[in-house]
Amino acid sequence: MVLSDQKPVSESPLVLQEIDEPKAAAGELRVKVNACAVCRTDIHIVEGDLDLHQKPLVPGHQIVGRIDEIGAGATQFRRGERIGIAWLRHVDGSCRFCRRQQENLCPNSRYTGYDTNGGYAEYAIVPQEFAYELPDDFDDEHVAPLLCGGLIGYRALEKAALPENGRLLLVGFGSSAHIITQVAVHRGHKVYVLTRSDNHIHRARELGAAWASSDFRDLPEKADSAILFAPSGRLVPPTLESLDRGGICSIAGIHLSDVPGLNYDRHLYQERQLRSVTANTREDARALLAEATAIKLQTHVTIYDLPDANRALLDMKVSDFRFVFVPHSALRLPHSLTFRFPEFQLSAFVCLPCKFSSASWRWSFFLLAVWSHSPPLRNRPTLPVFSVSQPPMDNRSFFAMRASSTPSARRAVSRGG
């Protein structure tokens, strides 16, 4: 999927095109992509919140695949080995930031799916120093969301400097927050979540949050630290005001709308701090993958066809759906989206609240009935598989769509996500 002109995702800016297969240069690895998670940074790039560094561009920076070509001098991995590719793909290694273990601040850093083509394609290239061994505990779809959504949240958690058995406030409950809630609860912290969505409130409590609501005024006590996930500057003042003395708020995002004026006494006095978080280091990635394995961290994915990439980005942006597509009867709230290619998948990560009306139910069952009576499609593209199930009484719901023209992918439909 190629981006040539930045515009709103509602205008379908990504175009399905054939391009030349990339070749691994010296010290590089070429990966045949199995999965690539979608990130809100992709939306910022596509819509123009971030200036394009390359045009045209193949987005995508949470890539999982297997090495199928090795450049000269690359000796750290073997052909056929499964690896992950994240956002950071190059640093100079010699600047003052690199020398003091702050490579994420390197002025000559370069990024996957931004400075070079990324994972919304059949192949991707990575320098061997920026490829990650992946734990066997996760399959391709479920490990992909850790490679940015997980990483930025993990670094934000470290920068929030939460004390032992501390009180952590998460503002916004998207992909990163789902992961960090699990990490923080496992570490023994008390987690508070502020989000507008009733589904997200319910899911936060399921994951172990001590409190979840939609109003700062309902917060039971001041927090020791906070992470702002929502890209809205207007949430900075109330988040700072919710901190106890000496509290730190870290902003986990590459883009934030303008921050309104702050009152020194209300928002900053008593040594409260506001910190931005920039990208990640390679050590962050290794630490997160190790901890995710140790705590048996869970992610859930939803499948899209590659030609539906624009719709998936739009769905991520609005996070509001009328249909629930269910691959099996075990219903859980997903926090990710996944593209499925004819032979491989792109997974994504975002919370999906679901709403229903009587009209949407009628159309849902109609689509299900049409699909269930359609003959098998063997050698031609298929339509999306729409299947619908009523949410259980606890309002948990699983959004999923599977569609492919290959028998192996059709088997994945019956297997579930």
Listed range (118-127, 158-167, 194-203, 364-373) with the worst mean pLDDT: 364-373
The dotted CATH code for 2-145 is 3.90.180.10
Beta strands in 75-210 (DSSP E): 82-85, 88-90, 110-111, 123-127, 131-133, 167-171, 190-194
Going by their DSSP bridges, the two strands 190-194 and 211-213 should be labelled as parallel
Q: Does residue 326 carry a pLDDT above 60?
A: no
The kind and range of the H/E element at 181 are: helix 175-186
Closest CA to 2 of 49, 45, 35, 41: 45
Q: What is the pTM of this model?
A: 0.74
Q: Does residue 209 carry a pLDDT above 80?
A: yes
- The correct CATH number of 151-276 out of 3.40.50.720, 3.90.650.10, 3.40.720.10, 3.30.590.20 is 3.40.50.720
Task: Parse the chain into domains and list their residue ranges.
Answer: 2-145, 151-276, 303-415
Q: Helix, strand or coil for residue 194?
A: strand
| Share above pLDDT 70 across residues of the chain, in percent, rounded to a whole number | 76
How do residues 15-64 score in pLDDT, each as one tens digit? 999 999 999 999 999 999 998 888 888 999 999 999 999 999 999 999 99
DSSP structure class, residue 414:
H
DSSP structure class, residue 266:
I
> Which pLDDT score, from 0 to 100, does residue 291 have?
96
How do residues 70-122 score in pLDDT, each as one tens digit? 999 999 999 999 999 999 999 999 999 999 999 999 999 999 999 999 999 99
Distances (CA, A) of 100 to 131, 132, 157, 279: 21, 22, 20, 16
